[in-house]
Structure 1
């Protein structure tokens, strides 16, 4: 009986030791996961709700303010369209101007795996009536602006050493980010003529968190950023003029209706597109809006450090 009792006690001690070691391992794994984890499902839902409000407002912009781009009005960044583009000989070309100091932007890159089909659909829908007055975003440069270390409204000059310090700080942030799975919610055309793809988040590190981490990592950055914390959108094209079938007799309402029909047609083709974003670019734009206009720039590419698993 004593032997049985001793055996039982030894077995109990072994089981307790195994249980304790397992608990330590679980705790260590939990701490590591917590360090790199994205927002919870509840937080993502809240951010998606904020995005939905933004996209609803953007969808009304063209009707509420009219087609300002037909009057060569301002862009969404307080720049004149006539300062950014030249329209002659039946095509649109960018009028590149030096950015002094260079803009330093952090953007998420959309892989050509996803951007090429979207770009093709945009051109298929808009080229027939707008080919002479539209600028299509380079499909290799589809991106989501996250955070600016310096922008044209509030320039923050930086030495080479300060730029490298920013790059190191951004890299440390990117190592904590998890790939973001996203869904194209809608395409909208704004009053300034920008055709935008507006996305929602399915899983991964939410843009709100990414921007917050970049803010903490870049304390010298402008306090006022260019975009709302929750927004996740990418420029697809910029319209600068009237459709081919327009004339002096064409009224404003019929032109607006034409634009709405084109947007609706594009939505029917690409809304619901899913994509995974897992790369952030730190970009020094030496020309104004270099990313959008294929200008001179320097790109540092960083892969997210957190795996989807």
Structure 2
């Protein structure tokens, strides 16, 4: 199918992009990597009046060291996230999750910020961002504001972004020396997650001193498995202790049943995958 006609704008600065969105009104769409938007346009599931392409805004690309945090530009590609040495050292969970995103072609075009702003609960980067206590830096007509990941995701494909705002960067607290693993279950290779679990842990000897766990596709937004985190802290990283903690993984979740699975199946998957992810993380 051919997309419906639209106006096209390619600003070179964040301020220009914000002004273009404000001028176009609520029918405008932002184009980042285009891996989610373009199929929707081709199928005419959306017919925006204006497309605002962020591809020429150089300040939105790259990873910076900001002391106790990393700043990841919204237009940084998945490919660059996979290979960035700062992310590998200080936010390994993001690198592990990005490794599972689609295929090499998509990872070369798709962007970190685009995936976050799209807010698909089956997307592989939302739960790791939540687990790492990331913050979203948003630009609008009134300036910039920062929103914690726990408040940014509101519902299916819905965030706190207003129609005239764009995601500028994601700030991630450093988790230097933490071990990480992302365990994903899908029906076929390169498909969306039926359920996935992102785990990062800090160990002291054979004990788990701190744990951060995010669940993918277990509700309309990413979910933090706080009950599992609390059950793990202070425990030796034995198979028995990990299994007992992982039994809490489905608490507070509300997965949507579909043609792939029902609620009970996804909740059992969450428990099993959490156990696997924690076990893999502590031995990474």
Do the two structures share a fold, i.e. TM-score over 0.5?
no
Compare relative contact order (CA 8 Å, sep 6+) and give the higher one, 1 or 2: 1
TM-score by length of 1: 0.21
Structure ID, larger Rg: 1
* Greater per-residue helix proportion: 1
